[in-house]
């Protein structure tokens, strides 16, 4: 029998600018190294209570049920689907990317009667198509993605939310790539089940899924005709642990929840409006820099997701070779496309602690150099100038100067 290799494998230090996970604040790292304590320790239960106080403002809700499910964002997705859907329920699922389709798959496993509205990847769902389906008959629930991680599309919600109210239909919303970086309005929109993750805009490690259910959803879950198909994700059982009863459900990770609490404290110390403005400003600076280099964005300006930017890969450029070079030479990790966009886009994340001027000014020269090595020339000086102009608040003036210079040259 061969001897086991017991040599430690050190985790490499990376600059994370992909779709997630992203870099985390030093205070969060410190919190993640807190001593492990029991899931019913009185001190730890206060941590859970504090998380339940800090999450609702991020969701834009006063729901009494807001906590962090064990597992990644997909755990929150499945919790919403499993708790709110019973066999035979008519469900309308909006699919404009990889994660919209994942909701469809989960709903299918619940035995739902599913109608799918499908849109091209890189475009938002048209509310008129939603209305056309709602006119055809009664639906229990609409499921859609607010921030589609696979495409970089930010889905407008207002019109669809109004339609859901008009036709008395519940809504499940995926905010995995938006919660903590973009304003969410659960109460105003009338969202019944909303979920996210801990490792993106919130700025913690992966392993928890913040989630909230409306009072209407909670009452509906209590009146189900059939038990929730997943024991582990049954919100009525989990709520007994997070709520006043403190009934054991699972071995909750004190490590992850200490980290989540610290990340939430950082968010509220910064201020939600300032945080949202930071994400938007850095997004605009990235786009300005990318376009000044001579590259193109996938998504139309009106629907771009500030936290996850999809950059078109120029024809003839080897995607895998370029990303491997960035990782090995600069320790820079960006995401490639998958599904229908595999080999067609790069996904550049600016979320939480990673949404910074430092990262922007690192990324532009790095991508320019990587492209140059494959024979694709960019205007690095223009790219850096465009980023700095946006960061200084002079983006519009810089664009006007560029246009003037181009006209003079012509």
pLDDT of residue 394: 77
* Same-domain status, 245 and 308: no
The CA-atom distances, in angstroms, between 112 and each of 87, 100, 109, 266 are 5, 16, 7, 40
By percentage, how much of the chain surpasses pLDDT 90?
Answer: 91
- Asked whether residue 397 carries a pLDDT value surpassing 60, the answer given is no
Q: Which of 205, 236, 269 is the last residue of a domain?
A: 269
Domain that includes residue 302, residue range: 272-397
Residue 153: partners with Cβ closer than 8 Å, 6 or more residues away: 96, 97, 122, 123, 124, 147, 299, 303, 304, 305
The percent of the chain in helix, strand and coil, each rounded to the nearest 5, is 45, 15, 40
* Domain's final residue, options 269, 293, 325: 269
Q: What is the pLDDT of residue 275?
A: 98
The pLDDT score that the predictor gives to residue 2 is 74
Same structural domain for residues 281 and 354? yes
Please tell me whether residues 177 and 257 are part of one structural domain: yes
Global pTM exceeds 0.85: yes
Tell me what pLDDT residue 122 has: 97
Single residue among 231, 248, 269 that ends a domain in this structure: 269
> For residue 232, what is the domain's CATH number?
3.40.640.10
Give yes or no for a contact between 59 and 81, defined as CB atoms under 8 angstroms apart.
no
Kindly give the residue spans of alpha helices, DSSP state H, lying in 10-59: 26-32, 42-59
**Over the stretch 107-159, which tens digit does the pLDDT of each residue have?**
999 999 999 999 999 999 999 999 999 999 899 999 999 999 999 999 999 99
Residue 112 backbone phi and psi in degrees, to 5 = -75, 155
Task: Round to whole Å and give the CA distance between 325 and 246.
Answer: 50
**Which tokens sit at 161?**
């939310």
Q: Give residue 137's pLDDT.
A: 85
Predicted local distance difference test score (pLDDT) of residue 399 = 55
Q: Residue 4 — pLDDT band, cuts 50, 70, 90?
A: confident
Q: Is residue 19 part of a domain?
A: no
Mean confidence (pLDDT) of the chain: 95
Q: Tell me what pLDDT residue 316 has.
A: 96
Instruction: Report yes or no on 10 lying in a domain.
Output: no
Find the mean pLDDT for residues 169-190. Answer: 98
Contact 154, 306 (CB under 8 A): yes
Tell me which residue of 355, 258, 279 sits closest to 35, measured CA to CA: 258
Q: Does 263 lie in the same domain as 276?
A: no
Q: For position 383, which CATH number holds?
A: 3.90.1150.10
Are 199 and 300 part of one and the same domain? no
Residues 62-121: tens digit of each pLDDT: 999 999 999 999 999 999 999 999 999 999 999 999 999 999 999 999 999 999 999 999
Q: In this predicted structure, what is the pLDDT of residue 263? A: 98
Cα 10 to Cα 13, 25, 32, 36, 390: the distances in Å are: 9, 20, 17, 22, 38
Count other C-beta atoms under 10 Å from residue 396's C-beta: 10
The pLDDT of 244-254, averaged and rounded, is 93
Do 70 and 140 reside in the same domain of the chain? yes
Q: How many domains does the chain have?
A: 2
Mean pLDDT of 193-198: 98
């Amino acid at each position: 029998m061969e001897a086991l290799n017991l040599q430690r494998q050190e985790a490499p230090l990376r600059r994370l600018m992909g779709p997630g996970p992203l870099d985390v604040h030093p205070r969060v790292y410190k919190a993640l190294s807190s001593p492990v304590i029991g899931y019913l320790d009185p001190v730890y239960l206060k941590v859970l209570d504090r998380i339940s106080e800090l999450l609702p403002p991020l969701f834009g809700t006063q729901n009494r049920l807001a906590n962090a499910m064990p597992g990644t964002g997909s755990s929150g997705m499945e919790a919403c689907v499993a708790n709110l859907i019973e066999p035979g329920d008519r469900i309308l699922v909006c699919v404009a990317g990889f994660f919209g389709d994942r909701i469809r798959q989960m709903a299918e496993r619940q035995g739902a009667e599913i109608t799918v509205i499908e849109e091209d990847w890189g475009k938002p769902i048209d509310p008129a198509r939603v209305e056309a389906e709602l006119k055809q008959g009664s639906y229990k629930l609409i499921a859609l993605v607010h921030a589609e991680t696979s495409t970089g599309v930010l889905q407008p919600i207002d019109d669809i939310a109004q339609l859901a109210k008009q036709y008395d239909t519940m809504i499940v919303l995926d905010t995995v790539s938006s919660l903590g970086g973009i304003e969410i309005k659960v109460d105003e929109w009338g969202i019944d089940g909303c979920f996210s993750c801990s490792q993106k805009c919130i700025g913690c490690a992966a392993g928890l899924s913040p989630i909230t259910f409306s009072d209407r959803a909670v009452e509906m879950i209590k009146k189900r005709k059939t038990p929730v198909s997943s024991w582990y994700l049954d919100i009525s059982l989990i709520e007994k642990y997070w709520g006043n009863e403190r009934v054991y459900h699972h071995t909750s990770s004190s490590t992850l929840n200490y980290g989540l609490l610290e990340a939430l404290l950082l968010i509220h110390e910064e201020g939600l409006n300032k945080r949202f403005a930071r994400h938007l400003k850095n997004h605009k600076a990235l786009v300005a820099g990318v376009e000044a280099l001579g590259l193109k964005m996938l998504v139309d300006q009106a629907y771009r997701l500030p936290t996850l930017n999809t950059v078109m890969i120029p024809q003839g450029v080897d995607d895998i070779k370029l990303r491997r070079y960035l990782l090995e030479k600069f320790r820079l990790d960006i995401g490639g496309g998958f599904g229908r966009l595999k080999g067609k886009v790069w996904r550049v994340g600016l979320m939480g602690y990673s949404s910074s001027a430092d990262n922007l000014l690192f990324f532009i020269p790095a991508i320019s150099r990587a492209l140059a090595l494959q024979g694709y020339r960019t205007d690095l000086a223009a790219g850096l100038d465009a980023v700095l102009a946006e960061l200084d608040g002079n983006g519009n003036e810089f664009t006007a100067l560029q246009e003037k210079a181009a006209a003079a040259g012509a």
